[in-house]
Amino acid sequence: MSVAASSPGSPLPHERAKPLAKGSTYPAKDLCSQCGLCDSRWVAYVKDSCAFLNQRFEAMETAAHGRSRDLENENELYFGVQQRMLTARLQQPIAGAQWTGIASRIGVLALESGLVDAVLCVGQSEDDRFTPVPRLARTPEEVLSARVNKPTLSPNLEVLEQLPGSGIRNLLAIGVGCQIQALRAVESTLPLDQLYVLGLPCTDNVSREGLQTFLETTVSSPETVVHYEFMQDFRIHFRHSDGREETVPFFGLDTPKLKNVFAPSCLSCFDYTNAGADLVVGYMGATFGCQWLTVRNPRGQQLLDLVEAELDVAPVTSRGQRQAAVQQGIDAYDKAVKLPIWLANIIGCFVGRFGPQGLEYGRFSIDSHFTRNALWLRRNHPEKVDAHIPAFAKRIISRYKLPNP
């Protein structure tokens, strides 16, 4: 861990520091993911801990898991350090949850079993479903009220400010890659006896304004959307407040309008699979309808142990070939191609049936985002490319031909 030096008996940097005023310029500037660290006294560590100022994948993985990923192992190259990978469904899904609700159920059981005193999760504003409100949940009800994703940048780590004097000694933190990278970097300075990390795979978050643009250009009724997700069938699944579900093929997006709507932090991120988490729960490596779990270390297995008896578990599978589709996608995205919806639906049906599935779909998604992000960095921050793109991502990107910067 990178901890700033302090003379014996003197306060640690976070005990002296004050959060930056909200709305002020953050150290990562335009690449800031608004993870919330700078909105806490742990801002003193930001130069070493911010994923967009200082990439530290190997050090983070070694500290969290006892070793870094094996770049010669194809699964670890793509999905990170792992002891176990599986797919699963809750036997009794949680009503209103994203997927079947495994992440929420783990949070509830961690509290009920006494494993942790609180769960760092993200609720929503009373005024707006998509405005994230991070919280330290102390009850199962508070955890459940935070179910379903919020696809906007979220300052999760600002609640670290509440830890001193809270009585919280054991914490389960749920978060995405940039948040977990920063959290791992300051872990040794937190007033905790034990930290457990449940990671969510993450790409392409937006500001609240960017989300509105996405909804207005993509879905029939933007004001009634309560949840959406890009899924393994190559379609975006929207759920509306009246219970109606709507799908739109990936290939039908209005790319010219949406190409620059995603946050710069997401367009320069290479931690899709949340490398620093103890346990990752998502969907990208599973067949449609199941969730994908990766156990990275014994703490991750401890979290899975809480819920495994309630799961229908199956091994991971892989089918199809991704390479040609990825290369075609690179060129189409770069040229901001927009297809007529009838053609997008035909392509979506074909690819959904015959295209990559399971782990191969996960690799397709990683390849697509890593190549896009590398090109974005080359064009917008060429001075950061060598240091910012980690070794595993460089190896993946090298398999494809990118347009000239």
Any domain includes 234: no
289: left (phi over 0), alpha (psi -120 to 50) or beta: left
Kindly tell me if the per-residue pLDDT of 98 is higher than 90: no
Q: Is the pLDDT score of 375 beyond 50?
A: yes
Distance CA 138, CA 110 (A): 10
Give the residue numbers spanning the domain of 100.
24-205+266-318
E-strand ranges in 67-215 read: 84-90, 118-124, 132-137, 170-175, 194-199
Decide if pLDDT at 265 tops 60. Answer: yes
In a domain, 58, yes or no: yes
Which pTM value belongs to this model?
0.92
**Residue 36 located in a structural domain:** yes
Residue 53 lies in a domain: yes
> Which residue intervals of 151-307 are DSSP H helices?
177-186, 208-218, 255-258, 298-307
Residue 310: pLDDT band (50, 70, 90) is: very high
Q: Output the average pLDDT for the chain.
A: 91
Domain count, the chain: 1
State pLDDT tens for residues 32-86: 999 999 999 999 999 999 999 999 999 999 999 999 999 999 999 999 999 999 9
CA angle (358 as vertex; 352, 361 as ends), nearest 5: 60
Q: Is residue 286 in a domain?
A: yes
- Structural domain includes residue 10: no
More confident residue, 207 or 323: 323
Q: State residue 341's pLDDT score.
A: 83
Buried b (16+ CB within 10 A) or exposed e, 186-219: bbebbebeebbbbbbbbbbbbeeebbebbbeebb
CB 341 within 8 A of CB 300: no
> Does the residue 12 lie in any domain?
no
pLDDT on residue 4: 39
> How far from the centroid of its chain's Cα atoms is residue 261's Cα?
18
DSSP state of 160: G
Is there a domain that residue 296 lies in?
yes
